[in-house]
Structure 1
């Protein structure tokens, strides 16, 4: 992207300050995951703590995925206007808000399914349902903000001089955000209208893989409009050339 575009959309603060602050927030979010890990005082506590490392690892990977997506977006679209700053602030707030629910969910999941330990984290089924609803709402919130960020970049696509592949990638990213919101919305809906104990509202997220593959394949099949227009021009000129040859 040209320097003129970058300076034109630099906004209220410099890009490196925005990215630096965002990286600090992501680092703080990882710290919140670690701070709950106490130093073990016995072998039994150590073994129990090792069980929690897997849940920490999964939550850490998910945070790194969000961090990568965040950095990828601002590398492609160095926007620091007021609207983008507001969206970025909202995104960081939601991420910090959902750090503990994220780790708690996976810790409870691994304790029950993998370690087969007695799970005393929930006193009733309704608490499991509430946690699944909170988790789904967090996914919806994060992807909704990402969608608005990509939508803002889409409105400025002409000023960024994006080529066809970049436009297609931007559309694919927005489609991916919609897929995540749709699946998370289905999970919350299952919790709201049924007596699900966290089973189907959790397994519904298995749809993410096939749906993301479909979203990527759908956009990969798109052809540049110039190629289509050239083909139309050729078909239009062919009858004219044939008529000239006959005359």
Structure 2
């Protein structure tokens, strides 16, 4: 009995260390996102120019927050304490570090295009993509990083669904819902990558289709949530 308790205590300490590292790594990613392409303003004019980056930063921060929160939900609801879970968690951090730059560039380009559409001019210090090929390559990098991060979360939830012990029916359904959401997210990212490859030499609004594909994530979340509610409503 004492040996079992020591093993559980050791597993809990290891899990806490991994969680601390994971949270610190995501905090570092957000810090990199905040300072990417910026310098400390030296006067009021430079400070006002820096404020133009707030919308892109807010969207980038929200996207990263979704991945971080999904991992938090995993470790609170259906964590499995083993080497496989640690590996997938570390891979998620690895891809987040890769994801931060294309993430910031995609949203910067999006808000620059919106601003130019209304005013006819570019934002100060805006990211300039000269051709549709440049935009397609940016979406390709973004899609690959997004797909890898979503796949890491999907593998975490799949591993938990297969190895969860003493889990309630509600916890199992919640884990499967998150698994389906992440698999759907991978599918959307792969669709975006395919469009980026097909339209890499295109121009005009067609070159924005890879980005528009991510609007399908709303359907993914909706269908997965509807499935979970239907399963919870029906007694086993």
TM-score normalised by structure 1 residue count: 0.80
Aligned to 2:173: 168
Identify if the C-alpha distance between structure 1 residues 40 and 193 changes in structure 2 by more than 3 Å, giving closer, same or farther.
same
* Alignment deviations for residues 115-140 of structure 1 (CA, whole Å, 9 cap, x no partner): 55435522322110000111111111
Partner of 1:14: 14
Question: Aligned in 2, Cα 1:181/1:39: closer, same or farther, shift over 3 Å?
Answer: same
Match of 2:68 in 1: 67
Distance 1:7 1:198, change over 3 A: farther
| Deviation of the 1:210 alpha carbon | 2.3
Cα separation, partners in 2 of 1:9 and 1:165, compared to 1, 3 Å: farther
Give secondary structure in 2 for the equivalent of 1:14: helix
Q: Is 1:182 aligned to 2:187, yes or no?
A: yes
Q: Judging changes above 3 Å, is the alpha-carbon distance between structure 1 residues 19 and 163 closer, same or farther for their aligned structure 2 residues?
A: same
- 1:188-203 → structure 2 map (5 Å cutoff): 188-194=193-199, 195=202, 197-203=206-212
Asked if 1:156 corresponds to 2:157, the answer is no
Give 1:43 deviation, angstroms.
4.2
Deviations 1:82-136 (A, max 9, x none): 1111111110000011111111111111112135543552232211000011111
Partners of 2:9 and 2:195 in 1: CA distance: 43
C-alpha separation between the residues in 2 aligned to 1:5 and 1:156? 20
Equivalenced residue count is: 222
Aligned to 1:24: 24
Corresponding residue of 1:128: 135
For 1:6 and 1:220, locate their aligned partners in 2 and report how far apart those are by CA, in whole Å.
Answer: 39
Aligned-partner Cα distance in 2 for 1:34–1:223:
41
Give the Cα–Cα distance (whole angstroms) in 2 for the partners of residues 17 and 182 of structure 1: 32
Preserved CA contact (<8 Å) 1:136 1:185? yes
CA contact (8 A) 2:78 2:171 kept: no
Contact 1:150/1:174, CA 8 A, preserved across alignment = yes
TM-score between the two structures when normalised by the length of structure 2:
0.84
Task: State the alpha-carbon separation in 2 of the partners of residues 99 and 43 from structure 1.
Answer: 28
Q: Gapped runs of 5+ residues in structure 2?
A: none
**Computing the radius of gyration over CA atoms, which structure comes out larger, 1 or 2?**
1
Ranges in structure 1 where 5+ consecutive residues have no aligned partner: 229-247
CA RMSD of superposed structures (Å): 2.6
Separation (CA, whole Å) in 1 of partners of 2:180 and 2:145:
18
